[in-house]
Structure 1
Amino acid sequence: MTAPHDDGAPARTLSAAATRRVLLSSVIGNALEWYDFFLYGTAAALVFGKLFFPAGTDPLVGTLGAFAGFAIGFLARPFGGLLFSHIGDRYGRKRALVSTLVLMGAATFLMGLMPTYAQIGIWAPVLLVLLRILQGLAAGGEWGGAVLMLTESAPKGKIGFYSSFGQAGLSLGFLLSALAFYLAQRLPAEDFMGWGWRLPFLVSIVVFAVGVYIRSRVPETRAFVEAQATGQTVAKVPALEVLKRHPREVLIAMGLRVAENGSSYIFVAFSLGFGKFVGAPDDMILLAMIVSFVIQMPVLIAFGALADRIGTKPIYMFGSITLMLMAFPFFSLIGTKDPTYIFLAFMLANTVSYSAMCATQPMLFSSFFGTSIRYSGLALGHEIAAVFSGGLSPFIATALLGAYHSSAPVSLYLIFLGAVTTLTCLAIKRPAMAQETAGAATAAG
């Protein structure tokens, strides 16, 4: 048996210093973990198609192959979610998160050492995909644990504010990966393609060391500690208990992910390939992306604080609806090749629409499940959806662009993603929403 949503555990308030340490470690740990994971998406758009597929392959086809590897990494995420959430629900959030960081850091560092197709032939893409699978396993266990370190330690009434810092850390990871490639591209083109692209991956060894040090020094979440102290029984297989008791909540979480996750990888991965297609310079797209992430971080926190006041549902719906409204303008603005309009495209789509969904997701998802199965519930809803939303979206978008030589089908695809999530928002029952502040301090214990 598992505990119901409202665990009834006594509130144990963390000291201000401990709370700040949890907050800082979650932001930095999340940023470093996702820096590693997002590097592949940037490299897939810029270099992997040329280096890991046969010479003479059409650039769009090579990029499509690289994004296929990108999608395969997402197929591994639910398995990683199940593995690490099992550890997290039974043995502690902290132990699971240190493990994900070790696995991610090792896989990313090895990518920087990978021989190319010209050196070892077909084994180059094979080994690349295997390392991407390891990244997927690590990423599958990361998000849920990072969310819980914040939602289960945040003061009552500030769940949205505190959990949004974790999402800001995720954006920081995006920012760092884009910035790393932007700086690497300052090298002469021949040097960048020869060895410069490897540098962002090799830096991950430093990322690994810093991340493990930070995460090993934070306390376990108060909700998990209190659940153990009050003798709550944890299911032998928490994921099965989630599917047995909360299948509707898992499906709702998956539907909410469709627009958020699917659009994000179109904005940050496919947009680089689309920029090449229309003749916009890579560095201009990357710089616009970098600026949008810098501004996105305070926007995320602002949305999180607003969710504490008005709830997550209206903010989440604002994000999914504005995503649909931006579907056509986003590509039209990039197509102008004018820096001002390209920057505007990323500000509206990435900094506003995406942020509204991203910032409120931890608070909303945490309210669906009780402490003893929450990690597993988050992993199932979050990571299964990632396979067919974020994992497939750059591949689908690239395939549509290749087939129709127009961004219009990709825009229609974005509208479809937004519609799915908007309808899912409407299906959220009021009792679940009520737990965001009262019971989601269930999210805090």
Structure 2
Amino acid sequence: MPSTTAAPAKAIRSEKQRRNARNAAISGFAGSALEYYDFFIFATAAALYLKDLYFPDAGAAGQLFSLATIGVAYITRPLGALLWGHLGDRIGRKNVLIAVLLLMGASTFLVGVVPTYAQIGVWAPVIIVVLRLAQGLSAGGESPGSSALSMEHAADNHRGFLASWTMSGVTFGIVLSSAVFIPLQLLPQDALMSWGWRIPFLLSAVVTIVALILRRTLDEPEVFVEAKVHRQVVKVPLLELLRRHPRTMILVTGMSLFTMVNTMINVFTLSYGTSVSGIPRDEMLLFVSVANLAAVFLLPLWAHLSDRIGRKPVFITGAVLQVVLIFAFLRALATGSADNTWMVWVLGILLVAGAYSMMNAVYPAYFPEQFPAKVRYSGMAISLMIGLLLAGFTPAIAAGISGAHHNWFGVALFSAICVVISGVCAAFSRETFRTPTEQLGLRQQDNA
């Protein structure tokens, strides 16, 4: 008799797990798309417009100041990781992810209504920087929490695939953040600089509402609920991480450095391509959109491959290919012209959708898999956001390295070194694709 009643119960539980995994993946895609649409429309605007609107008196340094506003958000991302990670490991993933979404939506909408320097003087760039800091605080909790939640809901052999939907959402957000500016280029210059550039920021209010509706359907992962039931919730996750998982935090932080390639391509090359190679602004925006759109579809395939052959082989192969393609792409961009951009397109798409996406697809599962459930949100969030600090300042660093002589080789070398460090840290990290979810991050003594 027990066996006959156990079978339906098991089937119901299995169906519920599949539904939760599906909802988590869809919510992760939509929520991350919104977060990074908001996050990167600011980056696109900083590369193209903010210099003249908010730093008009800075002269030649105006573009450097404008690009540096992108980086200030990465200062508060580790603080956001501490805050949201602590709350996520203490009270649960779902409510924290809703709060993160609201903060990003509100701060982005407000950017779209901030007066310019000509209207209110120095207060204009100050307000812009404060709102950018708020965006960074929000972003510190989005992708780590969404990745951890999707990974925890997934079946053991689909963790990589389902967690990668978060990164597909991030990448789709980047596509939207570039594509939304393309039709704006048809506006007269006066209209574009006075109100046209604000439209993408104001549209974020609509996307926020849609993402919130989806996110409210989520359930807490079973592994976290069980941790609460068995009183395994940690009072101060950061102290637990520093005491028991310092090596893991260092390795995950090192693995995160490859993300600087994202802002190098999506932000720095926008201004570099137009100013050095003379490629039209709308074509550079289209290139970024197409390359990232291709990545949206390839990311789940790379992640699925990591569920079959392991996280390390895919991640490290992506690192090796990136080192080669970074040099080839930047050389083509620096030596090309507005009349001959096919090589930039080919190499750029191979770099973004191919090599970079191999690493990008794996980390949403691989990084949280390194930590046990009781400190997973905090562990991934803090380690990832410390690594992402470099990504935030990459456009400004790359602009400084490039200098007046447009030194593309120095930028490529800097990028390659970061990617190599990521690959080496992966080589020293644990392979996790075959480890059951409930055993992830546990050391031998934890099982005793």
Query: TM-score normalised to the size of structure 1?
Result: 0.92
Q: CA separation in 1, counterparts of 2:188 and 2:70? A: 27
Give the counterpart letter for 1:423 in structure 2: V
Counterpart Cα distance in 1 of 2:20 and 2:384: 28
Contact kept in structure 1, 2:261 and 2:415, CA below 8 Å: yes
Matched residue type, 1:237: V
Corresponding position of 2:136: 136
| Residue deviations 1:219-251 (CA, integer Å, cap 9, x gap) | 12222122223x132221111111111011111
Cα deviations by residue, 1:71-98 (Å, 9 ceiling, x for unpaired): 1110000000110111110111001100
Q: Distance in 2 between matches of 1:300 and 1:377?
A: 23
* 1:26 corresponds to: 28
**Greater shift after overlay, 325-334 or 301-310?**
325-334
Q: Distance in 2 between matches of 1:219 and 1:149?
A: 9
Letter in 2 for 1:265: T
Q: Report the CA distance between 1:56 and its aligned residue.
A: 7.0
The CA distance in 1 between the partners of 2:372 and 2:302, in whole Å, is 24
Amino acid at match of 2:303: G
State the match for 1:66 in structure 2: 66
Higher relative contact order (CA 8 A, sep 6+): 1
Of all paired residues, the percent bearing the same amino acid is 36
| TM-superposed deviation, 1:295 | 1.1
Measure the CA separation in 2 of the matches of 1:256 and 1:151.
18
Judged with a 3 Å threshold, the aligned counterparts in structure 2 of structure 1 residues 82 and 56 are, in CA distance, closer, same or farther, namely: closer
8 Å CA contact 1:255–1:420 kept in 2: the answer is yes
Letter aligned with residue 438 of structure 1? T
Paired with 2:246 and 2:19, the residues of 1 have a C-alpha distance of: 38
Residue 129 of structure 1: how far off its partner (Å): 0.5
Aligned to 1:6: none
Alpha-carbon distance in 2 for matches of 1:276, 1:82: 38
Residue number in structure 1 paired with 2:274: 276
**CA shift at 1:378, angstroms?**
0.5
> 1:371 corresponds to which letter in structure 2?
A
**What is the CA-CA distance between 1:417 and the residue it aligns to?**
1.2
Secondary structure (helix, strand or coil) at the match of 1:437 reads coil
Q: Whose radius of gyration is greater, 1 or 2?
A: 2
Query: How many residue pairs align between the two structures?
Result: 427
Instruction: Give the aligned partner of residue 3 of structure 1.
Output: none
* Structure 1 range deviating more: 264-273 or 343-352: 343-352
Q: Which residue of 1 aligns with 2:5?
A: none
Q: Distance in 1 between matches of 2:95 and 2:439?
A: 21
**Partners in 2 of 1:126 and 1:276 — Cα distance?**
28
Does the aligned pair in 1 maintain the 2:253–2:384 contact within 8 Å? yes
Distance of 1:178 and 1:269 partners within structure 2: 10
Q: Is the 8 A contact 1:232 1:372 kept in 2?
A: no
Question: Residue 331 of structure 1: CA displacement?
Answer: 1.7
Partner residue in 2 for 1:241: 240
Query: Where does structure 2 lack aligned partners over 5 or more consecutive residues?
Result: 1-9, 443-448
What is the deviation of 1:266?
0.3
Task: State whether structure 2 residue 139 is matched by structure 1 residue 166.
Answer: no
Specify the alignment match of 1:377 in structure 2: 379
Equivalent residue letter for 1:409 = G
Q: Which amino acid aligns with 1:398?
A: A
Runs of 5+ consecutive residues of structure 1 not aligned to the other structure: 1-9
CA distance in 1, matches of 2:320, 2:428: 15
CA–CA separation in structure 1 for the residues paired with 2:62 and 2:353: 30
Deviation for aligned residue 1:386:
0.9
Pick one of 353, 363, 366 that aligns with 1:364: 366
Q: Does 1:310 align with 2:312?
A: no
2:206 corresponding residue in structure 1 = 206
Matched with 1:192 is: 192
